[in-house]
Amino acid sequence: MFRKTKIRLVSMYTLIFFCILSILGVSLYFYMYRTSFSSIDEKLSEKAQVFKHNDLDDIKEKNERESERRVSYLFWGNNSVLLKSYPENAFFQKDIVHLSPIHHQRMLRTQSIEGHSYRILTIKTNNRSLNNEHVKLIQLVYNIEPEVSMLNNLLIMIGFGSAGGLVLSFFVGLILANRALVPIQRSWEKQSQFVADASHELRTPLSVIQTHLELLFRHPANTIEQESETIFKSLSEVKRINKLVEELLTLARSDSNEKLINPAIFPIDELIQLIIEQFEPIASMKNITIEGKVDKGIFYMGDKERIHQLFVILLDNALKFTSSGGILIITCKKEINSLKITIEDSGIGISSEDLPHIFDRFFRSDKGRRRSEGGTGLGLSIAKWIVDAHHGNISVESKVEKGTKFIIKLPIKDGFK
């Protein structure tokens, strides 16, 4: 599944690294090339200055005093006849032909003769005399062997470096691709599990509905009243599917980072009081007492609808898992920078093995029993998402047969997702 993506990522990373290394190598080569040649050209033009102010006959002496023997001077007369060269045996006769200005128009050039490289500056002299002969052009021939061999070595090093860089880039690309894929793979597996669980959860009520509808067809003459039990059971399953789809939709949207929180300031104490009042009739039917210990006048900036949904999930669970004669205590206190809300029941409690999993999607401690209660196992996942989206924290303490307490902390000043 991820093979293709991995190959694509590795190729991309390798290419990017290789390009970066190559660009660095090429830039380094051109930088060295330019600095070497510009310093040679500077030296050549410095030496050319000598001819402006001195008699050409003095050049020999000056040349002899040159500490650096890398420059040779060629004096050309009319018709490109070589009059003199300093040092005298600087070039073989056969090489002189290649240097003749008759073949070259440019004043500054690089020339290779018999595998040796030279930088040549040609200057015009206006027929100044040397040993009673008219000099037309002077060539300053700079031996650039050291620079050229340094640049060649650099090029070889860059070549090897790039080849090594390619291999290195491949391994670095492989490591990076593996790292980049881990979270994607994990979330893909989570999503696949989510879809599989959701399909499984939907299949059960759907097959129950199908069975009941088929039952109705067995007695086509029966009245609705006679089949009311079958119809009622089908309707309950339809309601269950509805609830499940709604919860799945909420979680799917939360996964896709869709903006589902619309913050506004509201009195949270009044909201809690209202929810308590809504749950009281159901609680009294089950002979359960609800006690509210809520501080007055607490304003909270958050999504009122979602906070309402959070309390409904937690109170619904508390009522479901508390038997007759039990008690439910809801508290809400303002602390320094946060709100502390607790929902405590005296119900069946949660075992220590189940406790770490209760916020997992589709988790139900006792699947058989829960199904009769109509639970989907998604309520607490949604509750946790709501608290997280408000930058808060939800935790749980529970003892089997003693009761369960959910503790929610909501920051008052923080921003919202």
Contacts with ligand ADP, residue ranges (CB under 6 A): 313, 317-318, 321, 345, 347-350, 358, 363-365, 370, 375-381, 404
Angle, helix 379-389 to helix 304-320, in steps of 10 degrees: 150
State the Cα–Cα distance between residues 74 and 348, nearest whole angstrom.
109
SS (H, E, C) the chain: CCHHHHHHHHHHHHHHHHHHHHHHHHHHHHHHHHHHHHHHHHHHHHHHHHHHHCCHHHHHHHHHHCCCCCEEEEEECHHHCEEEEECCCCCCHHHHHHHCHHHCCCCEEEEEECCEEEEEEEEEEEEEEECCEEEEEEEEEEECHHHHHHHHHHHHHHHHHHHHHHHHHHHHHHHHHHHHHHHHHHHHHHHHHHHHHHHHHHHHHHHHHHHHHHHHHHCCCCCCCCCHHHHHHHHHHHHHHHHHHHHHHHHHHHHCCCCCCCCEEEEHHHHHHHHHHHHHHHHHHCCCEEEEEECCCCEEEECHHHHHHHHHHHHHHHHHCCCCCCEEEEEEEECCCEEEEEEEECCCCCCCCCHHHCCCCCCCCCHHHHHHHCCCCCHHHHHHHHHHHCCCEEEEEEECCCEEEEEEEEECCCCCC
**Contact 290/330 with Cβ under 8 angstroms?**
yes
Name the residue nearer to ligand ADP (CB basis): 177 or 380: 380
CB 400, min distance to ligand ADP, A: 9
What the block records as the tokens of 67 is 């500490």
Name the residue nearer to ligand ADP (CB basis): 165 or 379: 379
CB 316, min distance to ligand ADP, A: 7
What the block records as the tokens of 5 is 């993506």
- For 258, counting Cβ atoms within 10 Å of its Cβ (0-12 exposed, 13-18 middle, 19+ buried), the class is exposed
Name the residue nearer to ligand ADP (CB basis): 18 or 321: 321
Name the residue nearer to ligand ADP (CB basis): 180 or 396: 396
What the block records as the tokens of 127 is 């027929």
CB 307, min distance to ligand ADP, A: 16
CB 277, min distance to ligand ADP, A: 20
CB 195, min distance to ligand ADP, A: 18
CB 409, min distance to ligand ADP, A: 18
Residue nearest to ligand ADP (CB): 375
Name the residue nearer to ligand ADP (CB basis): 170 or 362: 362
CB 236, min distance to ligand ADP, A: 15
Name the residue nearer to ligand ADP (CB basis): 303 or 345: 345
What the block records as the tokens of 192 is 């696949």
**Contact 9/180 with Cβ under 8 angstroms?**
yes
Name the residue nearer to ligand ADP (CB basis): 147 or 344: 344
Name the residue nearer to ligand ADP (CB basis): 21 or 272: 272
**Contact 247/382 with Cβ under 8 angstroms?**
yes
CB 339, min distance to ligand ADP, A: 20
Name the residue nearer to ligand ADP (CB basis): 90 or 396: 396
Name the residue nearer to ligand ADP (CB basis): 91 or 385: 385
Name the residue nearer to ligand ADP (CB basis): 227 or 316: 316
CB 278, min distance to ligand ADP, A: 18
CB 361, min distance to ligand ADP, A: 8
CB 397, min distance to ligand ADP, A: 11
